[in-house]
Amino acid sequence: MSGRPAGASREFGVREESRLALVRGQGARFWDAEGRAYVDLGATHGAGSLGSGHPDVVRAITEQSHELLYLGSGYANPVRTAFLDRLLSLLPDSFARVFLSNSGAEAVEAALKIARSATGRPKVVAAMRGFHGRTMGALSATWRRELREPFEPLVPGFVHVPFNDPAALDLAVDRSTALVLLEPVQGEGGVHVASPEFLAAARAATERTGALLAFDEVQTGIARTGRLFAFEHSGVVPDLLLLAKSLAGGVPIGATVTTEEVAARFRGTHHSTFGGTPLACAAGLAALEATVRERLAERAERLGAQALARLSSLVPQRARELRGLGLLLGLELREKVAPYLARLQSRGFLALPAGATVLRLLPPLVIAEEDWADGLSAILEVVGNG
Ligand SMILES: Cc1ncc(COP(=O)(O)O)c(C=O)c1O
Protein backbone atom coordinates (compact mmCIF):
# COMPACT_ATOMS: atom_id res chain seq x y z
CA MET A 1 0.00 0.00 0.00
CA SER A 2 1.75 3.14 -1.16
CA GLY A 3 -1.10 5.54 -0.31
CA ARG A 4 -0.57 7.07 -3.73
CA PRO A 5 -3.84 7.73 -5.61
CA ALA A 6 -4.24 6.20 -9.09
CA GLY A 7 -2.75 8.49 -11.74
CA ALA A 8 -0.60 10.33 -9.21
CA SER A 9 3.07 10.82 -9.88
CA ARG A 10 5.90 8.87 -8.28
CA GLU A 11 8.01 12.02 -8.44
CA PHE A 12 8.22 14.26 -5.42
CA GLY A 13 6.73 17.66 -6.11
CA VAL A 14 4.73 16.51 -9.16
CA ARG A 15 1.06 15.98 -8.42
CA GLU A 16 -0.37 14.18 -11.43
CA GLU A 17 1.38 12.25 -14.11
CA SER A 18 -0.39 14.13 -16.90
CA ARG A 19 2.74 15.66 -18.36
CA LEU A 20 3.80 15.00 -21.91
CA ALA A 21 6.11 11.95 -21.93
CA LEU A 22 9.07 12.16 -24.30
CA VAL A 23 11.21 9.17 -25.13
CA ARG A 24 13.84 10.25 -27.67
CA GLY A 25 15.64 13.39 -28.80
CA GLN A 26 17.88 14.52 -31.64
CA GLY A 27 19.10 18.08 -32.07
CA ALA A 28 16.24 20.39 -31.10
CA ARG A 29 13.56 17.74 -31.61
CA PHE A 30 11.94 15.30 -29.25
CA TRP A 31 9.57 12.43 -29.97
CA ASP A 32 6.89 10.85 -27.84
CA ALA A 33 6.27 7.09 -27.63
CA GLU A 34 3.81 7.29 -30.55
CA GLY A 35 6.43 8.91 -32.79
CA ARG A 36 5.00 12.43 -32.71
CA ALA A 37 7.73 15.09 -33.02
CA TYR A 38 8.08 18.22 -30.87
CA VAL A 39 10.43 21.16 -31.36
CA ASP A 40 12.34 22.31 -28.28
CA LEU A 41 11.86 26.06 -27.82
CA GLY A 42 12.77 25.84 -24.13
CA ALA A 43 11.99 22.36 -22.86
CA THR A 44 15.62 21.78 -21.90
CA HIS A 45 15.67 24.88 -19.63
CA GLY A 46 18.90 26.17 -21.13
CA ALA A 47 20.85 22.96 -20.49
CA GLY A 48 20.27 21.74 -24.03
CA SER A 49 22.24 24.36 -25.98
CA LEU A 50 23.85 21.63 -28.08
CA GLY A 51 20.57 19.78 -28.47
CA SER A 52 20.07 16.08 -27.87
CA GLY A 53 22.62 13.57 -29.06
CA HIS A 54 25.31 15.97 -30.27
CA PRO A 55 27.77 13.55 -31.92
CA ASP A 56 30.85 15.06 -30.23
CA VAL A 57 29.30 14.85 -26.76
CA VAL A 58 28.01 11.31 -27.37
CA ARG A 59 31.46 10.20 -28.59
CA ALA A 60 33.25 11.86 -25.67
CA ILE A 61 31.09 10.30 -22.96
CA THR A 62 31.11 6.89 -24.68
CA GLU A 63 34.92 6.85 -24.91
CA GLN A 64 35.41 8.31 -21.44
CA SER A 65 33.07 5.80 -19.83
CA HIS A 66 35.35 3.02 -21.11
CA GLU A 67 38.47 4.85 -19.97
CA LEU A 68 37.60 6.20 -16.50
CA LEU A 69 34.13 7.10 -15.29
CA TYR A 70 34.79 8.41 -11.81
CA LEU A 71 37.76 9.70 -9.87
CA GLY A 72 37.79 11.66 -6.61
CA SER A 73 39.07 15.22 -6.75
CA GLY A 74 42.05 14.19 -4.61
CA TYR A 75 43.67 12.87 -7.79
CA ALA A 76 44.76 14.69 -10.92
CA ASN A 77 43.27 13.63 -14.22
CA PRO A 78 44.28 14.78 -17.71
CA VAL A 79 40.70 15.13 -18.95
CA ARG A 80 39.84 17.44 -16.05
CA THR A 81 42.98 19.47 -16.70
CA ALA A 82 42.22 19.72 -20.43
CA PHE A 83 38.66 20.84 -19.74
CA LEU A 84 39.72 23.49 -17.22
CA ASP A 85 42.47 24.75 -19.54
CA ARG A 86 39.99 25.08 -22.40
CA LEU A 87 37.40 26.81 -20.26
CA LEU A 88 39.95 29.31 -18.91
CA SER A 89 41.32 29.89 -22.43
CA LEU A 90 37.90 31.31 -23.38
CA LEU A 91 37.83 33.75 -20.45
CA PRO A 92 39.73 36.94 -19.61
CA ASP A 93 43.21 36.37 -18.16
CA SER A 94 42.10 37.41 -14.68
CA PHE A 95 40.27 34.07 -14.27
CA ALA A 96 42.60 31.35 -13.04
CA ARG A 97 40.78 28.92 -10.71
CA VAL A 98 37.69 26.77 -11.09
CA PHE A 99 35.63 24.86 -8.53
CA LEU A 100 33.67 22.10 -10.27
CA SER A 101 30.33 20.81 -9.01
CA ASN A 102 27.13 19.36 -10.47
CA SER A 103 24.50 22.09 -10.80
CA GLY A 104 23.80 25.77 -10.94
CA ALA A 105 22.75 25.95 -7.30
CA GLU A 106 26.02 24.34 -6.26
CA ALA A 107 27.97 26.83 -8.36
CA VAL A 108 26.14 29.61 -6.47
CA GLU A 109 26.72 28.00 -3.06
CA ALA A 110 30.45 27.80 -3.76
CA ALA A 111 30.50 31.48 -4.71
CA LEU A 112 28.72 32.43 -1.48
CA LYS A 113 31.19 30.44 0.63
CA ILE A 114 34.20 31.74 -1.28
CA ALA A 115 33.03 35.35 -0.94
CA ARG A 116 32.25 35.18 2.77
CA SER A 117 35.46 33.35 3.53
CA ALA A 118 37.73 35.50 1.32
CA THR A 119 36.34 38.82 2.59
CA GLY A 120 35.48 37.84 6.16
CA ARG A 121 32.19 39.70 5.66
CA PRO A 122 28.57 38.52 5.91
CA LYS A 123 26.41 40.60 3.53
CA VAL A 124 25.24 39.52 0.08
CA VAL A 125 23.53 41.98 -2.25
CA ALA A 126 21.33 40.40 -4.92
CA ALA A 127 18.61 41.74 -7.22
CA MET A 128 14.85 41.79 -7.06
CA ARG A 129 13.38 39.27 -9.54
CA GLY A 130 16.68 37.38 -9.45
CA PHE A 131 16.84 33.58 -9.46
CA HIS A 132 19.88 31.64 -8.28
CA GLY A 133 18.63 28.16 -7.38
CA ARG A 134 16.80 26.32 -4.64
CA THR A 135 19.38 25.20 -2.09
CA MET A 136 19.27 27.26 1.09
CA GLY A 137 22.05 29.73 0.20
CA ALA A 138 21.03 30.10 -3.44
CA LEU A 139 17.39 30.43 -2.37
CA SER A 140 18.36 33.21 0.04
CA ALA A 141 19.70 35.12 -2.97
CA THR A 142 16.56 34.32 -4.98
CA TRP A 143 13.82 36.94 -4.91
CA ARG A 144 10.41 35.33 -5.42
CA ARG A 145 8.47 35.14 -2.21
CA GLU A 146 6.55 31.94 -2.97
CA LEU A 147 9.82 30.11 -3.59
CA ARG A 148 11.30 31.32 -0.30
CA GLU A 149 8.49 31.46 2.23
CA PRO A 150 7.83 27.73 2.93
CA PHE A 151 11.50 27.26 3.83
CA GLU A 152 12.17 30.22 6.09
CA PRO A 153 14.24 31.07 8.00
CA LEU A 154 16.74 31.30 5.16
CA VAL A 155 20.40 32.24 5.44
CA PRO A 156 20.78 35.67 7.09
CA GLY A 157 22.65 38.57 5.53
CA PHE A 158 20.97 38.80 2.11
CA VAL A 159 19.45 42.01 0.75
CA HIS A 160 17.76 42.65 -2.61
CA VAL A 161 17.93 45.84 -4.65
CA PRO A 162 15.82 46.82 -7.67
CA PHE A 163 17.32 45.41 -10.87
CA ASN A 164 18.83 48.05 -13.20
CA ASP A 165 18.88 50.70 -10.48
CA PRO A 166 22.55 51.72 -10.16
CA ALA A 167 21.90 54.22 -7.36
CA ALA A 168 20.05 51.68 -5.17
CA LEU A 169 22.81 49.16 -5.72
CA ASP A 170 25.47 51.67 -4.84
CA LEU A 171 23.64 52.53 -1.64
CA ALA A 172 23.26 48.89 -0.58
CA VAL A 173 26.91 47.91 -1.02
CA ASP A 174 29.01 48.82 2.01
CA ARG A 175 32.04 47.63 3.94
CA SER A 176 30.12 44.66 5.38
CA THR A 177 29.36 43.37 1.87
CA ALA A 178 31.06 40.14 0.83
CA LEU A 179 29.37 39.69 -2.51
CA VAL A 180 27.18 41.31 -5.13
CA LEU A 181 25.46 38.54 -7.07
CA LEU A 182 23.70 39.35 -10.35
CA GLU A 183 22.43 37.70 -13.52
CA PRO A 184 23.48 39.63 -16.66
CA VAL A 185 20.07 38.63 -18.02
CA GLN A 186 17.46 37.58 -15.49
CA GLY A 187 16.04 34.37 -16.93
CA GLU A 188 13.50 32.89 -14.51
CA GLY A 189 12.55 36.39 -13.35
CA GLY A 190 11.01 37.26 -16.73
CA VAL A 191 13.94 37.79 -19.15
CA HIS A 192 15.23 41.21 -18.14
CA VAL A 193 18.54 42.35 -19.60
CA ALA A 194 20.91 44.18 -17.23
CA SER A 195 21.91 47.61 -18.48
CA PRO A 196 25.67 48.13 -18.93
CA GLU A 197 25.37 51.03 -16.46
CA PHE A 198 23.93 48.72 -13.79
CA LEU A 199 26.73 46.19 -14.19
CA ALA A 200 29.34 48.95 -14.26
CA ALA A 201 27.84 50.38 -11.05
CA ALA A 202 28.11 46.94 -9.44
CA ARG A 203 31.77 46.77 -10.44
CA ALA A 204 32.45 50.25 -9.11
CA ALA A 205 30.63 49.64 -5.81
CA THR A 206 32.45 46.38 -5.16
CA GLU A 207 35.80 48.00 -5.94
CA ARG A 208 35.00 50.93 -3.67
CA THR A 209 34.15 48.70 -0.71
CA GLY A 210 36.34 45.63 -1.21
CA ALA A 211 33.38 43.33 -1.91
CA LEU A 212 33.44 40.70 -4.64
CA LEU A 213 31.27 40.70 -7.76
CA ALA A 214 29.73 37.47 -9.10
CA PHE A 215 27.79 37.05 -12.31
CA ASP A 216 25.43 34.10 -12.33
CA GLU A 217 25.67 32.94 -15.94
CA VAL A 218 24.07 29.56 -15.28
CA GLN A 219 21.38 30.37 -17.85
CA THR A 220 23.18 32.93 -20.05
CA GLY A 221 26.54 31.19 -20.19
CA ILE A 222 28.22 29.54 -23.13
CA ALA A 223 27.03 31.31 -26.26
CA ARG A 224 23.34 31.71 -25.47
CA THR A 225 23.19 35.50 -25.55
CA GLY A 226 25.23 35.93 -28.71
CA ARG A 227 28.59 36.04 -26.90
CA LEU A 228 30.30 33.09 -25.24
CA PHE A 229 29.57 34.80 -21.89
CA ALA A 230 26.93 37.46 -21.39
CA PHE A 231 29.28 39.73 -19.42
CA GLU A 232 31.12 40.35 -22.71
CA HIS A 233 28.24 42.57 -23.87
CA SER A 234 29.00 45.07 -21.10
CA GLY A 235 32.75 44.56 -20.80
CA VAL A 236 32.34 44.34 -17.01
CA VAL A 237 34.45 41.43 -15.75
CA PRO A 238 33.36 39.93 -12.40
CA ASP A 239 35.52 38.27 -9.72
CA LEU A 240 33.39 35.13 -9.83
CA LEU A 241 31.63 33.61 -12.81
CA LEU A 242 29.03 30.89 -12.23
CA LEU A 243 28.27 28.36 -14.94
CA ALA A 244 26.23 25.16 -15.21
CA LYS A 245 23.31 24.04 -17.42
CA SER A 246 24.76 23.70 -20.95
CA LEU A 247 28.44 23.72 -19.94
CA ALA A 248 28.84 19.95 -20.42
CA GLY A 249 26.40 19.43 -23.29
CA GLY A 250 23.61 18.06 -21.06
CA VAL A 251 25.70 16.13 -18.52
CA PRO A 252 25.39 17.53 -14.96
CA ILE A 253 28.06 20.09 -14.14
CA GLY A 254 28.54 23.34 -12.24
CA ALA A 255 31.55 25.64 -12.28
CA THR A 256 32.55 28.54 -10.06
CA VAL A 257 35.35 30.37 -11.81
CA THR A 258 37.44 32.92 -9.95
CA THR A 259 40.75 34.74 -9.82
CA GLU A 260 44.05 33.69 -8.30
CA GLU A 261 43.77 36.57 -5.86
CA VAL A 262 40.35 35.49 -4.54
CA ALA A 263 41.42 31.84 -4.38
CA ALA A 264 44.46 32.84 -2.31
CA ARG A 265 42.24 34.60 0.25
CA PHE A 266 39.85 31.62 0.67
CA ARG A 267 39.94 30.05 4.14
CA GLY A 268 38.30 26.72 4.92
CA THR A 269 37.44 23.87 2.61
CA HIS A 270 34.80 23.16 0.02
CA HIS A 271 34.24 19.93 -1.86
CA SER A 272 31.73 17.86 -3.81
CA THR A 273 32.07 14.09 -4.36
CA PHE A 274 30.87 14.19 -7.94
CA GLY A 275 32.33 17.58 -8.87
CA GLY A 276 34.56 17.37 -11.94
CA THR A 277 34.29 13.67 -12.76
CA PRO A 278 36.23 12.58 -15.85
CA LEU A 279 32.85 11.88 -17.49
CA ALA A 280 31.55 15.42 -16.95
CA CYS A 281 34.89 16.94 -17.94
CA ALA A 282 35.08 14.90 -21.16
CA ALA A 283 31.56 16.04 -22.01
CA GLY A 284 32.46 19.60 -21.06
CA LEU A 285 35.55 19.63 -23.25
CA ALA A 286 33.59 18.26 -26.22
CA ALA A 287 30.79 20.77 -25.63
CA LEU A 288 33.16 23.75 -25.46
CA GLU A 289 34.99 22.70 -28.63
CA ALA A 290 31.72 22.18 -30.51
CA THR A 291 30.32 25.53 -29.30
CA VAL A 292 33.38 27.39 -30.57
CA ARG A 293 33.81 25.41 -33.81
CA GLU A 294 30.14 25.69 -34.77
CA ARG A 295 30.17 29.43 -33.96
CA LEU A 296 27.08 29.01 -31.82
CA ALA A 297 27.37 32.47 -30.27
CA GLU A 298 27.03 34.07 -33.71
CA ARG A 299 24.19 31.71 -34.51
CA ALA A 300 22.38 32.67 -31.29
CA GLU A 301 22.77 36.34 -32.16
CA ARG A 302 21.43 35.84 -35.69
CA LEU A 303 18.48 33.61 -34.78
CA GLY A 304 17.65 35.87 -31.83
CA ALA A 305 17.56 38.91 -34.12
CA GLN A 306 15.16 37.05 -36.44
CA ALA A 307 12.85 36.42 -33.51
CA LEU A 308 12.97 40.03 -32.32
CA ALA A 309 12.13 41.23 -35.83
CA ARG A 310 9.26 38.79 -36.40
CA LEU A 311 7.64 38.78 -32.96
CA SER A 312 7.77 42.56 -32.55
CA SER A 313 4.58 42.77 -34.62
CA LEU A 314 2.75 41.37 -31.56
CA VAL A 315 3.68 44.44 -29.52
CA PRO A 316 1.76 46.42 -28.29
CA GLN A 317 -1.61 44.89 -29.26
CA ARG A 318 -1.17 41.26 -28.22
CA ALA A 319 1.90 41.56 -25.97
CA ARG A 320 3.29 44.23 -23.67
CA GLU A 321 6.95 43.81 -24.46
CA LEU A 322 9.52 41.68 -26.25
CA ARG A 323 12.91 41.44 -24.54
CA GLY A 324 16.08 39.42 -24.66
CA LEU A 325 19.58 38.83 -25.91
CA GLY A 326 20.48 36.16 -28.46
CA LEU A 327 18.44 33.03 -27.87
CA LEU A 328 17.15 34.02 -24.44
CA LEU A 329 13.93 35.82 -25.25
CA GLY A 330 10.83 36.83 -23.34
CA LEU A 331 7.49 37.91 -24.76
CA GLU A 332 5.48 39.53 -21.99
CA LEU A 333 1.82 38.86 -22.70
CA ARG A 334 -1.19 40.84 -21.55
CA GLU A 335 -2.60 37.76 -19.82
CA LYS A 336 -1.52 34.44 -18.31
CA VAL A 337 0.91 32.50 -20.44
CA ALA A 338 -0.12 28.93 -19.50
CA PRO A 339 -2.96 28.53 -22.08
CA TYR A 340 -0.65 29.79 -24.83
CA LEU A 341 2.03 27.29 -23.88
CA ALA A 342 -0.58 24.51 -24.03
CA ARG A 343 -1.70 25.65 -27.50
CA LEU A 344 1.90 25.73 -28.69
CA GLN A 345 2.46 22.23 -27.31
CA SER A 346 -0.58 20.91 -29.14
CA ARG A 347 1.04 22.23 -32.34
CA GLY A 348 4.33 20.50 -31.49
CA PHE A 349 6.32 23.38 -29.97
CA LEU A 350 7.60 23.29 -26.39
CA ALA A 351 8.21 26.76 -24.92
CA LEU A 352 8.62 27.88 -21.31
CA PRO A 353 7.06 30.39 -18.93
CA ALA A 354 9.08 32.93 -16.95
CA GLY A 355 6.64 33.95 -14.25
CA ALA A 356 2.90 34.11 -14.90
CA THR A 357 2.77 36.20 -18.08
CA VAL A 358 6.08 35.84 -19.91
CA LEU A 359 6.53 33.36 -22.73
CA ARG A 360 10.21 32.43 -22.64
CA LEU A 361 12.17 31.08 -25.58
CA LEU A 362 15.34 29.19 -24.75
CA PRO A 363 15.89 26.82 -27.68
CA PRO A 364 18.98 24.73 -28.39
CA LEU A 365 21.50 26.93 -30.20
CA VAL A 366 21.69 24.22 -32.87
CA ILE A 367 17.98 24.41 -33.70
CA ALA A 368 17.36 23.96 -37.44
CA GLU A 369 16.55 27.25 -39.18
CA GLU A 370 13.29 25.78 -40.44
CA ASP A 371 12.19 24.63 -36.98
CA TRP A 372 12.98 28.05 -35.55
CA ALA A 373 11.05 29.80 -38.32
CA ASP A 374 8.10 27.42 -37.83
CA GLY A 375 8.22 27.96 -34.07
CA LEU A 376 8.05 31.72 -34.50
CA SER A 377 5.16 31.34 -36.96
CA ALA A 378 3.32 29.20 -34.43
CA ILE A 379 3.81 31.87 -31.73
CA LEU A 380 2.63 34.59 -34.12
CA GLU A 381 -0.50 32.60 -34.81
CA VAL A 382 -1.26 31.43 -31.29
CA VAL A 383 -0.56 34.77 -29.57
CA GLY A 384 -1.74 36.86 -32.51
CA ASN A 385 -5.13 35.15 -32.60
CA GLY A 386 -5.49 35.14 -28.81
C1 LIG B 1 20.51 32.03 -13.25
C2 LIG B 1 20.35 30.69 -12.59
N3 LIG B 1 21.10 30.38 -11.52
C4 LIG B 1 21.01 29.20 -10.92
C5 LIG B 1 20.11 28.25 -11.33
C6 LIG B 1 20.00 26.94 -10.61
O7 LIG B 1 20.52 25.93 -11.40
P8 LIG B 1 20.22 24.40 -11.05
O9 LIG B 1 18.79 24.16 -11.36
O10 LIG B 1 21.15 23.64 -11.96
O11 LIG B 1 20.55 24.21 -9.62
C12 LIG B 1 19.28 28.52 -12.43
C13 LIG B 1 18.29 27.53 -12.89
O14 LIG B 1 17.40 27.80 -13.65
C15 LIG B 1 19.40 29.77 -13.08
O16 LIG B 1 18.64 30.09 -14.13
What residue owns the CA closest to ligand 1's atom 8?
Answer: 104
**Can you tell me the distance from the alpha carbon of 192 to that of 76, in angstroms, rounded to the nearest whole number?**
40
Q: Is residue 137 a contact partner of residue 308, using CB atoms and an 8 Å limit?
A: no
Cα(47) to ligand 1 centroid in Å equals 10
User: Among residues 216, 239, 349, 371, which one is catalytic?
Assistant: 216
Where along the chain do the CATH 3.90.1150.10 domains lie? 24-53+295-384
Question: Which atom, in ligand 1's list, is nearest to the CA of 187?
Answer: 16
**Can you tell me the distance from the alpha carbon of 186 to that of 188, in angstroms, rounded to the nearest whole number?**
6
Q: Summarize pLDDT for 204-252 with one digit per residue, the tens.
A: 999 999 999 999 999 999 999 999 999 999 999 999 999 999 999 999 9
Q: pTM of the predicted model, to two decimals?
A: 0.97
CA 285-63-244 angle, 5° bins: 30
For 55-293, CATH gives: 3.40.640.10
Where along the chain do the CATH 3.40.640.10 domains lie? 55-293
Cα(366) to ligand 1 centroid in Å equals 21
* Strand-pair category, 212-216 with 177-182: parallel
Q: Summarize pLDDT for 261-276 with one digit per residue, the tens.
A: 999 999 999 999 999 9
**pLDDT confidence tier of residue 332, bands split at 50, 70 and 90:** very high
**pLDDT confidence tier of residue 90, bands split at 50, 70 and 90:** very high
What residue owns the CA closest to ligand 1's atom 13?
Answer: 133
Q: Summarize pLDDT for 47-76 with one digit per residue, the tens.
A: 999 999 999 999 999 999 999 999 988 899
Residue 69 is predicted with a pLDDT of: 96
Residue 40 is predicted with a pLDDT of: 98
Is the pLDDT at 363 greater than 70, yes or no?
yes
131 catalytically annotated: yes
Mean pLDDT value across residues 292-315: 98
The structural architecture, per CATH, of the domain 24-53+295-384 is Alpha-Beta Complex (3.90)
42 lines ligand 1 (CB under 6 A): no
**Can you tell me the distance from the alpha carbon of 276 to that of 272, in angstroms, rounded to the nearest whole number?**
9
133 lines ligand 1 (CB under 6 A): yes
Question: Which atom, in ligand 1's list, is nearest to the CA of 244?
Answer: 10
217 lines ligand 1 (CB under 6 A): no
60 lines ligand 1 (CB under 6 A): no
Q: Which of 210, 271, 267, 269 is nearest to 239 (CA)?
A: 210
165 catalytically annotated: no
Is the pLDDT at 368 greater than 80, yes or no?
yes
